[in-house]
């Protein structure tokens, strides 16, 4: 699932959820929902999250 990939990549980069949320320009609650799998980011936010984590949308959200 994407939520596991988000958390793993964030931890690999040594970032906190608040840091990723700030880089993307979203609330910490929104990021937490994406990471936990409760919500799926729209295309723009998926791209911004991937950039913040030096990753790709496919790697983080692909099947």
Count of the separate structural domains present in the chain: 1
The whole-number average pLDDT for the span 30-51 is 95
pLDDT digits (tens, 9 = 90+) for 44-57: 999 999 999 999 99
pLDDT digits (tens, 9 = 90+) for 8-26: 999 999 999 999 999 999 9
Number of CB atoms found within 10 A of residue 43's CB: 9
Q: Report residue 62's pLDDT band, with 50, 70 and 90 as the boundaries.
A: confident
Q: Residues 6 or more apart from 19 whose CB is under 8 A from it?
A: none
Residue 15 lies in a domain: yes
Residue 63 lies in a domain: no
* CA of residue 28 relative to chain centroid, distance: 11
Residue 60 lies in a domain: no
CATH of the domain at 51: 1.10.260.40
The whole-number average pLDDT for the span 26-47 is 95
* CA of residue 9 relative to chain centroid, distance: 8
Does residue 1 surpass a pLDDT of 70? no
């Amino acid at each position: 699932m994407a939520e596991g990939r988000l958390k793993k990549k964030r931890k690999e980069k040594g970032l906190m959820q608040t840091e990723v949320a700030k880089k993307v320009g979203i609330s910490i609650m929104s990021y937490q929902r994406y990471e936990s799998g409760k919500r799926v980011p729209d295309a723009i936010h998926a791209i911004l999250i991937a950039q913040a984590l030096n990753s790709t949308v496919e790697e983080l959200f692909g099947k």
